[in-house]
Structure 1
Amino acid sequence: MLRLGSRLRHERPTGALSSNKLGVLSHLRRHGPSTPSAIAAAEHQQLQSLTRTFAELEADGLVTRSPSPADRRSSVLTVTEAGRAAFARDLAQRDDWLAAAMSGLTEIERQLLVLASGLMLRLADAPGTAPASGDAATCDLLVHSAQRTPTPTHHGRPGG
């Protein structure tokens, strides 16, 4: 996951949105209008760390801020159409690269990626807790075993 994430970051276009801005816009697209506190918690960041990001997104017209109907001391952020378009533009180059990279996969490999991506999203959204005694060792074992597993060949090309 780290290598793929690094490669996808490398495929970012010049002038791309910051990772914090992408995270906020992504959260708002997936979950709808949210308070800054809820976004910060979902992004595993301190609210103060995202204050500037929220202000810049609002100044750029990518989000709107309105008073919370539940608590007038709080605000709710909503992604705008311009925000949706900026998010889509930012992801387009990476999507193109990923589609080209996946074109060499078999149908079964693509289906496996769809299944794995759903599982990774579930894991990413799992509540935070301290690992049970064997969980960390199990994770280490899985990672190290995956690193030792030979890459399958496809049409005579390693990993392709």
Structure 2
Amino acid sequence: MKAKSVNSEDTEVSSLTAELHIVIGALSRRLREEADTGDLTRAQKSVLLRLERDGPTTGSALARAEAMRPQSMGAIIAVLEAAGYVAGAPDPSDGRQTIISLTDHFRTWISAARTARRDWLLRTLQARLTAQEQHQLADAVDLLKRLLDS
């Protein structure tokens, strides 16, 4: 059997893959720094984003959606409630259940964090890239979108 030789195109694509991974990771970290999301864990952020996307729901439904034990979800909800990010209210159709929803305080906080990230990125693009480079970046964004659609 012949060993497959690696050609220069494969090497370039492999290098591009590694570099793209590093750059996207660094950009994500930098954007997170700009938003100051505090000390939220990944699980807490995931629950908040799910509530934002899907709307109010019960703790047990959240636990199922996040693939975790109800007890673990209860601990997450308690922390988020203490921070003022979520609130519970009795389920009108089943008083034994509690509906968890985002608070106005959280919605204001997340909006400000997103605005901070967008503002930093806008200022940075304008300060560091020429108009032509901004157009090249727009083309690259289209290519990245195609990667996500695959």
TM-score bucket (shorter structure)? 0.5 to 0.7
Q: For the pair shown, which has the larger CA radius of gyration, 1 or 2?
A: 2
Paired residue for 1:46?
A: 69
Matches for 1:1-160 after TM superposition, within 5 Å: 4=24, 8-9=28-29, 11-13=31-33, 15-91=38-114, 95=118, 103=134, 105-117=136-148, 119=149
Shifted more, 60-69 versus 15-24: the winner is: 15-24
Q: Distance in 2 between matches of 1:98 and 1:43?
A: 31
- Please give the secondary structure, in 1, of the residue aligned with 2:93: coil
After TM superposition, the score normalised by the length of structure 1 is 0.55
- Please give the secondary structure, in 1, of the residue aligned with 2:32: coil
1:43 to partner: Cα distance = 2.2
1 or 2, which has the higher helix percentage? Answer: 2
Q: Distance in 2 between matches of 1:104 and 1:7?
A: 19
Q: Distance in 2 between matches of 1:16 and 1:26?
A: 15
Q: CA 1:19–1:67 in structure 2 vs 1: closer, same or farther (change >3 Å)?
A: same
- Please give the secondary structure, in 2, of the residue aligned with 1:76: strand
Paired residue for 1:145?
A: none
**Contact conserved, 1:33 with 1:78, CA < 8 A, in 2?**
yes
**Contact conserved, 1:22 with 1:87, CA < 8 A, in 2?**
no
Q: CA 1:52–1:7 in structure 2 vs 1: closer, same or farther (change >3 Å)?
A: farther
Q: Mind listing any 5+ residue stretches in structure 2 that lack a counterpart?
A: 1-19, 126-132
- Please give the secondary structure, in 2, of the residue aligned with 1:8: helix
CA offset digits 1:45-70 (Å, max 9, x no partner): 22222222211211222111011223
**Contact conserved, 1:25 with 1:87, CA < 8 A, in 2?**
no
1:89 to partner: Cα distance = 4.0
Q: Mind listing any 5+ residue stretches in structure 1 that lack a counterpart?
A: 121-160
Q: CA 1:90–1:38 in structure 2 vs 1: closer, same or farther (change >3 Å)?
A: farther
